[in-house]
Structure 1
Amino acid sequence: MAKKVNLEHQPRKASSVIKTSIVSVIFILYMFPFLLVLVNSLKRKVNIVKHPLQILDDAGLQWVNYKNAIEKMDFIRSFGNSFIITAVSVVLLIVFSSMAAYIFVRTDWKACKISFFAMMASMVIPFQVIMIPLVSIYGGKLGILNSRTVLILMNFGFGTSMCTFMCHGFIKSNVPIALEEAARIDGCGPHGIFFKIVFPLMKPILSTIAILEVLGLWNDYLLPSLVLGKKNLYTLPLAIRTFYGTFTNDYGNIMAGLTLSIIPIVIVYVFLQKYIVGGVIAGAVKS
């Protein structure tokens, strides 16, 4: 009898081993570029070029790359610029997108339906199509580029449609209207109903939006490169460009700068990772 039980469990164990092996291989392949950046950030340029897969530099760990990166990138200022732009943009997106989605879900106004359809339609327009007219109008005609405020407003404008779409689906499928009706009977006004009842219930989807937007805005290079021309306004991706020369590139410092810019994103992801999958799934239902 014991042998029969063991035989029944063997296929399950074999299947589990195969799945674990496949996941491990995929994980290694996925993490390999990041590990390569980390390893090469502690090597000299000559070793990076000749032996990029070598774990340790012949001359030992080159911590000087990090020192050079912090000094030449003006890391503190660039980090501050990235933090301000990303944080303010994400807060605006979370607050106003959730409010807009709530209105779209709970009202039957024709204007809301038209506005929601227009927002969804705008999501199919590639940014590359409008970036030249955007710079031409804001820079050439209005002359308001080289401003963190302008970049924040652009981030807000380009991100609102997707965030509203995700919040719309979450409210429609996960926020029962009965709670709002009970609060209304107790004398709670529209603002109180949203901020005291609906908004706290949206924590999973808002956390998902936060991590996705932080990842996108923190690593964004194209839009900041079009808007921010002054060196004192550079974000981290723009500051890393300092190490790219006309005839040569300082690979050690580049790798060190990339590693420093990745650390804040990893920290944010660790704290919010449990909300990502659940929030995306919930926001995609009944949208």
Structure 2
Amino acid sequence: MGKKKDIRSWLGTAGFTFLCLAWIAPIVIVLFDSFKKRTFINLEPFALPTEKTFVGFENYLSAINKYGFLDAVGWTVFITVGSVIAILLCTSMCAWFITRIQNFFTKLIYLLCVFSMVVPFQMVMFTLALTSDRLGLNTPWGIIIVYLGFGAGLAVFMFTGFVKSIPVEIEEAAMIDGCTPLRTFFSIVLPIMKPTYISVGILEIMWVWNDFLLPYLVLDTNKYKTISIVIQYMKGSYGRVDMGAIMAALIMAVIPVIVFYLAAQKHIIKGVAAGAVKG
């Protein structure tokens, strides 16, 4: 019996190791290709760089100097940080209000937030682009409002589940001591919601940072470009594609997200589990 368990454990370890390697392989291939001449990227995409194909950091410098990659990083960071802060603050307060004030209005808000999670983006993208342009939301600070609308559904759902597990007596005691509703939220409720804040924040950061379609439709791309848009613009006319710059840009775009995810991944399961608690 013990030998069977050892065999199953070994097979499970081997299987998951293979899956991990299969998941990492594309990133490793892109990393190797980012140091190769663009011609050899097409001819030998899976080969290691050699003395003949190696170009050092030429592709990285091309992505930065020729295509304005650093400017795109700046706008992407601004949009990501602003959007995530707005989503976390507004949706957590909304979830607290929905949970504590039980009436038809709050139930309707909750249902609308949940319904927004199942509506395909393709159904509203053309109307959204037109509306955003007319309202002047085609700027990095305007698109934050758009992200707040699209990110509210999942965030409200997760925050609401967690707030239901918070004893109401804690908030009542704070209000008896003279706390206003806002002070009660920021001093009592918000610190307790930290696990869900971290979990939702990680998910929203990865979504906004990697998003292409929404910035492409909403932003004025003549003035503002995110990382994903700049990478798309590396494809020139007549089918010409600067594969070297694209590979380098992909690596520079992916590494911050991977590092951030690895550093914060232990909080994801904890936050999701906390948000799934039913009152």
Specify if TM > 0.5: yes
Whole-Å separation in 2 of the counterparts to 1:120 and 1:193: 26
223, 226, 234: which one aligns with 1:232: 223
Report percent identity of matched pairs. Answer: 35
- Amino acid of the structure 2 residue aligned with 1:130: V
- Amino acid of the structure 1 residue aligned with 2:18: V
Matched residue, 1:167: 159
108, 121, 142: which one aligns with 2:102: 108
Measure how far apart 1:163 and its partner are: 0.7
Q: TM-score, normalised by structure 1?
A: 0.90
Whole-Å separation in 2 of the counterparts to 1:190 and 1:146: 35
CA RMSD, 1 decimal: 1.8
Partner of 1:148: helix, strand, or coil?
coil
Matched residue, 1:35: 28
Whole-Å separation in 2 of the counterparts to 1:42 and 1:14: 41
17, 20, 25: which one aligns with 2:13: 20
Whole-Å separation in 1 of the counterparts to 2:264 and 2:174: 30
Matched residue, 2:147: 155
- Amino acid of the structure 2 residue aligned with 1:108: Q
Whole-Å separation in 2 of the counterparts to 1:52 and 1:180: 60
Whole-Å separation in 2 of the counterparts to 1:73 and 1:270: 29
Verify the 8 A CA contact 1:101 1:164 in the aligned structure 2: yes
Q: Which moved more, 1:130-139 or 1:61-70?
A: 130-139
Q: State yes or no: 1:122 paired with 2:122.
A: no
Measure how far apart 1:143 and its partner are: 6.1
Matched residue, 1:79: 73
Query: How do 1:138-287 residues align onto structure 2 when only pairs under 5 Å count?
Result: 138-139=132-133, 142=134, 144-173=136-165, 175-246=166-237, 247-286=239-278
Aligned residues, how many? 277
Whole-Å separation in 1 of the counterparts to 2:84 and 2:170: 28
Verify the 8 A CA contact 2:116 2:150 in the aligned structure 1: no
User: Structure 2 vs 1, CA of residues 191 and 144 (structure 1 numbering), >3 Å: closer, same or farther?
Assistant: closer
Measure how far apart 1:145 and its partner are: 5.0
Verify the 8 A CA contact 1:146 1:233 in the aligned structure 2: no
Verify the 8 A CA contact 2:33 2:41 in the aligned structure 1: yes
Whole-Å separation in 2 of the counterparts to 1:81 and 1:63: 24
Whole-Å separation in 2 of the counterparts to 1:117 and 1:88: 26
Structure whose alpha-carbon radius of gyration is higher: 1
Partner of 1:147: helix, strand, or coil?
coil
Measure how far apart 1:149 and its partner are: 2.1
Partner of 1:230: helix, strand, or coil?
coil
Verify the 8 A CA contact 1:72 1:242 in the aligned structure 2: no
Whole-Å separation in 2 of the counterparts to 1:52 and 1:234: 28
Measure how far apart 1:85 and its partner are: 0.6
Matched residue, 1:4: none
Measure how far apart 1:208 and its partner are: 1.0
Measure how far apart 1:275 and its partner are: 0.9
* Structure 2 gap ranges (5+): none
Larger helix share, 1 or 2? 1
Whole-Å separation in 1 of the counterparts to 2:67 and 2:190: 39
Measure how far apart 1:252 and its partner are: 1.1
Whole-Å separation in 1 of the counterparts to 2:241 and 2:155: 38
- Amino acid of the structure 1 residue aligned with 2:194: K
Partner of 1:108: helix, strand, or coil?
coil
Whole-Å separation in 1 of the counterparts to 2:196 and 2:67: 35
- Amino acid of the structure 2 residue aligned with 1:38: L
Verify the 8 A CA contact 1:78 1:235 in the aligned structure 2: yes
- Amino acid of the structure 2 residue aligned with 1:18: L
Measure how far apart 1:182 and its partner are: 2.8
Q: Which moved more, 1:48-57 or 1:81-90?
A: 48-57
User: Structure 2 vs 1, CA of residues 99 and 230 (structure 1 numbering), >3 Å: closer, same or farther?
Assistant: same
Whole-Å separation in 2 of the counterparts to 1:94 and 1:135: 24
Q: State yes or no: 1:67 paired with 2:58.
A: no
Q: TM-score, normalised by structure 2?
A: 0.93
Verify the 8 A CA contact 1:44 1:62 in the aligned structure 2: no
Measure how far apart 1:61 and its partner are: 4.8
- Amino acid of the structure 2 residue aligned with 1:17: W
Partner of 2:136: helix, strand, or coil?
coil
Matched residue, 1:56: 49
